[in-house]
Amino acid sequence: MRHWLIANTQAGNGSRGEGFWKPHLERAGITSLQVCDLAEEDWETALEAGDIVLVAGGDGTVNRVARACLEHDAILGVLPSGTANDFARNLGLPEDPDAL
């Protein structure tokens, strides 16, 4: 099992990418991450069953990563990072990274 951070550098105003999320994830005990930008294509084929995929982006990013997780039987975690964050808001996810 690996932890992935898939970030969309184009989501929102671009401030909630790897540099933003990595320290929060480390404080939560997730210190070993495979980090990829959504635009990279090889991460989708590298996913394995049981991998935990944390996605930082908006609704479109979450949708794409969720499909890949379903195909590979990976576990999806949403890190709200988009402009409107409709998906995260509808799930009731807190916007405060440490609360998340």
Which tokens belong to 37?
């930008």
* Tens digit of each residue's pLDDT, the chain (100 residues): 999 999 887 766 667 788 888 999 999 999 899 999 888 888 999 999 999 999 988 888 889 999 999 999 999 998 887 777 777 778 887 877 788 7
Residues 6+ positions from 12 with CB-CB distance below 8 Å: 58, 81, 82, 83
- Residue 77 inside a domain? The answer is yes
pTM for the whole structure: 0.85
- Residue 100 inside a domain? The answer is no
- Residue 98 inside a domain? The answer is no
Q: What is the CATH number for 86? A: 3.40.50.10330
pLDDT value, residue 90:
82
pLDDT value, residue 12:
65
If one counts the domains in the chain, the total is 1
Q: What is the 8-class DSSP label of residue 96?
A: S
Expressed as residue numbers, the domain containing 70 is 3-91
